[in-house]
């Protein structure tokens, strides 16, 4: 009877994984419903989880991520030992693998319920009223020129290290203390960005994480916005704001980048303004290089020397951490994004430019209407 009950429980658990997939794919056709109901509940849940996990200074999510593979290895060895010593045969090993599969299915369902359906919410363009549409190459060039001028002006106010690279006195501690200010101001225009959440947290093994090419990650089970604090300071504020956007239920990477631009620009601290502008500039210039490499190369001469040093520093940092680990991690991240309906995968990061151009067009229309 006990064995029969266990089999029934396993059968129920076996259904939970596919149930998660069903919830995710079926709700993709109802973004308004997700926006009106799920997002509200998910955001509150993540908010309370982040405040609760915020009671400890370290990332609980990082500890869990590190312990998980270790636990899998230990349990696998344990099952293998039982197979050899206790002679349970293949049945014992198969049972352990089934249990692992069931656990992953339950974990995926929890991910979908807690945060995952945010991938199916309305786009930020719809929420903000921005019209994303085809633009001319000239408009893209004008955006790049605007961002270069902004970056050049903001760079004058910043502190440099002995190598002439932008640095933040106080480092990440200062960044996470001041990051919420930009969200509070941006929420006056976009209420969806409001709410009090737990502060972003530093990843202890940040330097090792850089070999995966990842700057930060949200751990939805604890609501923690985790930041790779080893990255150059020039993008540290924008990266922090990016992960905080995920806390607020904006799952798509392109939208989180755009929100990082909005909230960094809304911050009174010039370090944040510069960091957000630099992020927008990098994405816009990458898009312009794809469109017209010759004209984009000409714009490089407009960079302030300090901006050039910061961009060179960023390039050298990531080049130093390139390798097989980064390739595998990029492939895994690409598969993850595609599985969550970001069909362009890693390339979807470039869509931030569409929102920047839509914003530029909207601002231009407002100015013309005032004349």
pLDDT digits (tens, 9 = 90+) for 312-343: 999 999 999 876 444 444 444 454 445 455 55
Task: Indicate whether 142 and 100 sit together in one domain.
Answer: no
Task: Indicate whether 150 and 259 sit together in one domain.
Answer: yes
**Which pLDDT score is estimated for 105?**
86
For residue 85, count CB atoms less than 10 angstroms from its CB and return exposed for 0-12, middle for 13-18, buried for 19 or more: exposed
**Which pLDDT score is estimated for 322?**
79
Task: Indicate whether 192 and 231 sit together in one domain.
Answer: yes
Task: Indicate whether 74 and 181 sit together in one domain.
Answer: no
Residues 135, 141, 147, CA angle at the centre, nearest 5°?
115
Task: Indicate whether 205 and 284 sit together in one domain.
Answer: yes
Provide the percentage of residues in the chain whose pLDDT is more than 90.
67
Tell me the per-residue pLDDT of 154-182, one tens digit each, with 9 for 90 and over.
Answer: 999 899 999 999 999 999 999 999 999 99
Tell me the per-residue pLDDT of 55-82, one tens digit each, with 9 for 90 and over.
Answer: 999 999 999 999 988 877 776 676 666 6
Query: What average pLDDT does the chain have?
Result: 86
- In this prediction, residue 94 has a pLDDT band, given cuts at 50, 70 and 90, of low
Q: Is the pLDDT of residue 100 over 80?
A: no
Task: Indicate whether 225 and 349 sit together in one domain.
Answer: yes
Write the CB contacts of 263 (distance below 8 Å, at least 6 apart in sequence).
179, 182, 183, 185, 186, 193, 241, 244, 245, 272, 276
**Which pLDDT score is estimated for 49?**
98
Provide the percentage of residues in the chain whose pLDDT is more than 70.
81
Task: Indicate whether 208 and 284 sit together in one domain.
Answer: yes
Task: Indicate whether 64 and 201 sit together in one domain.
Answer: no
Task: Indicate whether 63 and 194 sit together in one domain.
Answer: no
Choose the final residue of a domain: 86, 120, 154.
Answer: 120
Token pair for 222: 């604890």
Q: Is the pLDDT of residue 37 over 60?
A: yes
**Which pLDDT score is estimated for 104?**
84
For the ranges 14-18, 29-33, 67-71, 241-245, which has the lowest average pLDDT? 14-18
Supply the range of the domain harboring residue 144. Answer: 124-370
Number of domains present in the structure of the chain: 2
Residue 84, CA atoms < 13 Å, CB-side half-sphere: 6
**Which pLDDT score is estimated for 102?**
82
**Cβ atoms of 357 and 140 closer than 8 Å:** yes
**Which pLDDT score is estimated for 245?**
98
Question: pTM of the predicted model, to two decimals?
Answer: 0.88
Q: Is the pLDDT of residue 88 over 80?
A: no
**Cβ atoms of 59 and 224 closer than 8 Å:** yes
Task: Indicate whether 362 and 299 sit together in one domain.
Answer: yes
Task: Indicate whether 196 and 70 sit together in one domain.
Answer: no
Choose the final residue of a domain: 98, 120, 142.
Answer: 120
**Which pLDDT score is estimated for 2?**
47
Tell me the per-residue pLDDT of 102-114, one tens digit each, with 9 for 90 and over.
Answer: 888 889 999 999 9
When mean pLDDT is compared over 8-17, 304-313, 345-354, the highest value belongs to 304-313
**Which pLDDT score is estimated for 337?**
47
For the ranges 27-36, 130-139, 156-165, 254-263, which has the lowest average pLDDT? 130-139
Choose the final residue of a domain: 96, 120, 144.
Answer: 120
Task: Indicate whether 65 and 214 sit together in one domain.
Answer: no
**Which pLDDT score is estimated for 96?**
66
Q: Is the pLDDT of residue 234 over 60?
A: yes
Tell me the per-residue pLDDT of 131-158, one tens digit each, with 9 for 90 and over.
Answer: 888 888 999 999 999 999 999 999 998 9
CA distance 144 to 281: 6
């Amino acid at each position: 009877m006990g064995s029969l009950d266990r089999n029934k429980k396993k059968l129920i658990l076996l259904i939970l994984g596919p149930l998660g997939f069903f919830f995710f794919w079926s709700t993709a056709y109802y973004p308004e419903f997700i926006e009106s109901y799920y997002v509200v509940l998910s955001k509150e849940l993540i908010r309370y989880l982040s405040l609760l996990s915020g009671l400890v200074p370290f990332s609980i999510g990082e500890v869990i991520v590190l312990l998980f593979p270790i636990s899998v290895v230990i349990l696998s060895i344990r099952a293998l030992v039982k197979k050899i010593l206790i002679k349970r045969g293949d049945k014992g090993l198969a049972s352990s693998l089934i249990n692992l599969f069931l656990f992953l299915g339950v974990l995926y369902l929890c991910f979908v319920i807690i945060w995952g359906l945010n991938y199916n919410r309305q786009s930020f363009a719809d929420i903000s009223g921005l019209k994303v549409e085809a633009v001319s190459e000239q408009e893209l060039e004008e955006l790049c020129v605007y961002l270069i001028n902004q970056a050049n002006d903001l760079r004058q106010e910043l502190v440099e290290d002995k190598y002439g690279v932008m640095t933040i006195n106080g480092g990440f501690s200062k960044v996470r203390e001041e990051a919420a200010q930009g969200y509070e101001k941006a929420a006056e225009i976009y209420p969806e960005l409001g709410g009090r959440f737990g502060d972003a947290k530093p990843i202890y093994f940040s330097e090792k994480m850089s070999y995966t090419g990842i700057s930060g990650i949200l751990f939805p089970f604890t609501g923690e916005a985790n930041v790779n604090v080893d990255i150059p300071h020039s993008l540290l504020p924008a990266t922090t704001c990016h992960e905080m956007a995920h806390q607020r239920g904006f799952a798509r990477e392109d939208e989180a980048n755009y929100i990082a631009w909005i909230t960094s620009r809304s911050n009174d601290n010039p370090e944040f303004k510069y960091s957000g502008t630099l992020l927008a500039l990098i994405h816009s210039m990458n898009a312009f290089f794809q469109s017209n490499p010759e004209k984009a190369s000409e714009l490089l001469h407009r960079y302030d020397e300090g901006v050039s040093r910061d961009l060179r520093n960023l390039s050298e940092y990531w080049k130093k951490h390139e390798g097989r680990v980064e390739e595998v991690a990029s492939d895994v991240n690409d598969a993850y994004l595609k599985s969550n309906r970001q069909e362009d995968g890693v390339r979807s990061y470039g869509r931030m430019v569409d929102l920047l151009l839509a914003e530029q067009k909207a601002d231009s229309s407002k100015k013309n209407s005032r004349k």
